[in-house]
Amino acid sequence: MALMETGKYSQGSVLGSVNPDLASERQTASFSVEKLTAWLDGGAEQTRLRRAVVGVIESDPVFSRENQYFQSQNERYEAAVRKAVHLQKKMHEMGWSENGPEFKYIYRAVAGDVAFLLHRIFMRSISMLGSDEQIAKWIPLASQYQLIGSYAQTELGHGTYLQGLETTAVFDVTTQEFILNTPKISAMKWWPGDMGRSATHTVVFAQLYIHGKCYGIHPFIVQIRSLQDHSLCPGIIAGDIGPKMNFEHIDNGYLMLQSVRVPRENMLNKFCEVQPDGTYVRRGSQKINYFTMTSVRISLISGEAIPSLMKACTIAIRYSAVRRQSKLKPGEQEAKILDYQTQQEKLLPQLAAAYAFHFINDYLQEVFDRGYREIQRKNFDTLPELHALSSGFKALVTQYCTSGVEICLRACGGHGYSLLSGLPSLYTKIIASCIYEGENTVLLLQTARFLIKCFMAASTGQSIPPSVTYLAATKAGKCPAKNKLDFLRPDIYTEAYQHTAVRLISSTAAKLQDLIQSGAKKHDAWNRCTVQLVQAAKAHCHYITVKNFVETVEKIETKAGIQRIMKHLCDLFALHGIFSNTGVFLHDGYISGAQMDMVTASYLDLLAIIRKDAVPLVDAFDFTDKSLNSALGSYDGQVYQRLYEWAQKSPTNKQISPAYGKYLKPLLHNRLSKL
C-alpha cells in the first residue's frame, strides 16, 4: 500500500478491520455461510482443495493483479505471457496436472489473465481431428512447449458462417503439398488468440481444393514463426489486431498466407484424407464436431459467465451495505443504499440468477456427461438435444450475466465507474462472451430450430428428447393462484413458465406453417419468424432454469437454514422473470391482471426478505479480495480508504504531466490574446 501523504488520513490500519456496517450484516445471517460454500463447491473437501490452490496462486507475486488497472496493452500482454510460463513451472512444482483435481481451480485463481489459452485449443483440435500418427507427433511437442500453438478459424469476413471461409488450400500432387493462400483481404485470419505475437504454429481452416474441385473446410497445421528466432516464416504476414474493449492481455492476431506450402501429412486427417494421388477419402462421423462446441460452450458458462456475475454481485452488494446516502426516515442516520427498494430490485434478482445459473450448470454438466458416455458407445442420438441445450444456455446465461454485471456496475454509482471497482473490467470482458463461441442470436435460432422440430414431432406422436417432453403435454387452462402467497408455490410458477414456453413455441410454429401454406418460401418464412423464434428459445431455457432450481431446492438435505434461503432465492428468480416479462404471461390470459398484481406483491416482499441475507449470500461465493481485485468489494468493506490508496498508485499520479510545461504554464502566464 502506498504511504499516505499525511498522517491525518493515514488509516492504513483500518484496512483489514471490518467496517461495522458490513460486520453487522454478517451477524444476522439466517444460515451457515461456510456450509453453503461447501455445498456449492460439492463438498467441504472440494472447498478445502479450492482454497489450497487459490492460496498457492495468490501468494505467488508473479500472479499478482495489483497493477492490472494501470497497465497498457503491451504491458498486459507481457504479464500474461509471464504468468502463463510461470504457471507451467508452478504446476510442475506442485505436481498439478491437467487431469488432476486441482486443475479446475487454477484458472479461477489466476482470474483468466494468462496467455496460451489458444495453445490448449490447438492441442484439443489435434487430439480430436488428428490421426494417431499426428497426435503422436504434435501433442508431445505442444505439451512440452517446444512450439506454441494457436487456432486460426475466424477471418475478417467470416465468423459464424464457417462454410463461407475464403482461405484456400490447394493440393499439389507433384510435391505432395498443400499450398495455402489468403486470396483477398476478407480472407485474412483475424481474431485468433495467441497468434498476434506468440504462436509458432497454428491450425488453419481452409477450403480444400484437389484438381480444381472444392471439398470444403479442412484443418491444416501451419508453422508461422521460426522456432529459432521467432521471425515470421516465408509467405506469412501476421501481427496483432490492436486494442479491444478488454482482453488486452491476449494477442489476438491476424494472419495472411502467401503460397505457404505444408506437407500432405499436415492436414488433420482423422475424418478424411487426401491420398498421394489426390483421391479424397472421407471416413467416420463428423457429428462429433458438435460435441466439441458443446463442451466449449458449457465450460464457458461455468468458467466465464457465472463467476463474473457472482463477483459483480459480491462487489455491488457489499458496497451497498457500506454506502450510506440520504435518509430513509427523517431524523435518522443516512440509510444504507441496500435498504432502498429500488437498489434491492437491481441487485437481488442478479444474486438469485447467479445461484440459478450455478445450478443449471450442474444440470448441463450432468446431461453432457451422460451424452459423452453414450457417444463413447457410438450412440449419437443425444447430440441434437445437447447441441440445442448448450447453444440456448450459452446464449441465455451470457446475456443474463452481461446485463447483470452492467446493473451491478451502475448500481454502484460513480465509484462503480472507476476501474478500481473491478466492475468495468468484469463488464467489458463478459460482454464478449455474448459474441464469441457462437453469437447469441445465431445460437438461439439453432435452439429454436430444434424446438420447432421437436414440437412438430410431438404433434405427430413421435418420441422427443427428455428436455422437451413437456411440449407434448400441452394443456390450456388458467393459472390457479388465488392470492399472493400462491405465487410462492413452485408448482404454480413452474407451470406458468411451462405454459408460456409451449405457447410461444406453438404459436411460432403455427405462424411458420401459415406463411409456408400461403406461399412463402421456406427460408423466407423462417426469416420472418426469427424474432419470435428467439423469444421462444429464451422462454424454453428460462423454463428449464426455473424447473431445475425448484428441483435443486427440493433435493437439499443440508441443514443450517440453507434450504429456506435457497427456496427464497428460487422464488425470487422465478417471480422476477415473470415481473420482468409480464406480457408473455398475460398474453393469453393464463395469468390475469389481478394475479399479476399478486406476483408483484410477492416479488417485492421477497426483496425485503432476501435483503437481510444478501451479504452472507455473496460471502458464500467465497471470492478472495485478490480475486475480486476491487476497491469496493473487499471483505472488510473499507471502500473509501481503499479507493484513495489505490488511486495513489495510478501512473497519472506518478509523473508531473508534460502538459503543464507545454500548455498550462504558457496559458496561465500569458494573456489569451498573446497566444
- Which residues are annotated binding-site positions for FAD? 154, 193
Binding segment (CB under 8 A) for a second copy, from list 104-112, 292-300, 318-326, 359-367: 318-326
* Torsion sign (Cα): 519, 521, 522, 528: negative
The verdict on whether 66 is a catalytic residue reads no
Among residue numbers 357 through 416, which ones bind a second copy (CB under 8 A)?
A: 406, 409-410, 413-414, 416
Q: Minimal distance in Å, beta carbon 595 to a second copy?
A: 11
**Lookup: cell for 278:** 489426390
Are 586 and 596 in contact by the 8 Å Cβ rule? The answer is yes
Q: Please report how close the Cβ of residue 641 comes to a second copy at its closest, in angstroms.
A: 6
515 binds a second copy (CB under 8 A): no
Interface positions, 448-487, toward a second copy (CB under 8 A): none
Min CB(403)–a second copy separation in Å: 9
Does residue 213 bind a second copy (CB under 8 A)? no
Quick one: 226 or 462, whose CB is closer to a second copy?
226
Residues 265 and 134 sit within 8 Å (Cβ to Cβ): yes
Q: Does 436 bind a second copy (CB under 8 A)?
A: yes
Tell me the C-alpha distance between 244 and 256, whole Å.
Answer: 21
Instruction: Give the separation between CA 340 and CA 154, rounded to whole angstroms.
Output: 47
- List, as own/partner pairs, every contact residues 119-122 make where C-beta atoms lie below 8 angstroms and the sequence separation is at least 24, other chains included: 119/148, 119/149, 119/150, 119/194, 119/199, 121/149, 121/151, 122/149, 122/150, 122/151, 122/199, 122/201, 122/202, 122/203
Calpha distance 571→575 (Å, rounded): 6
Decide: residue 136, CB within 10 A, 0-12 exposed, 13-18 middle, 19+ buried: exposed
| Residue 293 within binding range of a second copy, rule CB under 8 A | no
Q: Which of 92, 158, 26, 70 is nearest to 637 (CA)?
A: 26
Site for a second copy in 545-604 (CB under 8 A): 581-589, 593, 596, 600, 604
Q: What residues from 221 to 250 belong to the interface with a second copy (CB under 8 A)?
A: 227, 230, 237, 239-245
* Beta carbon of residue 183, minimum distance to a second copy (angstroms, whole number): 10
Considering only residues 93 to 132 of the shown chain, the ones binding a second copy according to CB under 8 A are: none
**By CB under 8 A, what part of segment 335-354 binds a second copy?**
339-343, 345-346
Q: Report residue 85 CA to chain centroid gap.
A: 24
What is the greatest pairwise CA distance in the chain? 91
Give the residue with the Cβ less far from a second copy, 129 or 599.
599
> CA–CA distance from 75 to each of 85, 193, 249, 482, 657 (Å)?
16, 17, 8, 61, 21
* Residue 649 touches a second copy, criterion: CB under 8 A: yes
* Residue 434 binding a second copy, by CB under 8 A: yes
CB of 416 to a second copy, least distance (A): 8
Q: Which of 111, 121, 152, 420 binds a second copy (CB under 8 A)?
A: 420
In the set 198, 308, 350, 545, which binds a second copy (CB under 8 A)? 198
In this chain, which of 432, 457, 516, 609 binds a second copy, going by CB under 8 A?
432
Query: Among residues 38 and 534, whose Cβ is nearest to a second copy?
Result: 534
User: DSSP state, 180?
Assistant: E
Lookup result for grid cell 481444393? 209
Least distance between a second copy and beta carbon 108 (Å): 23
Number of shown-chain residues binding a second copy (CB under 8 A): 143
Among 34, 374, 439, 625, binds a second copy (CB under 8 A): 439
Residue 207's SS3 state is strand
H or E segment to which residue 299 belongs: helix 288-300
User: What does each C-alpha distance from 485 to 51, 553, 606, 608 come to in angstroms?
Assistant: 41, 18, 11, 15
Residue appearing with cell numbers 504434435: 138
Task: Out of 437, 554, 557, 645, pick the active-site residue.
Answer: 437
Known binding-site residues equal 154, 193
**CB-wise, 46 or 650, nearer to a second copy?**
650
Using rule CB under 8 A, residue 615 touches a second copy:
no
Q: Which of 66, 334, 369, 514 binds a second copy (CB under 8 A)?
A: 334
The residues annotated with a catalytic role in the active site are: 437
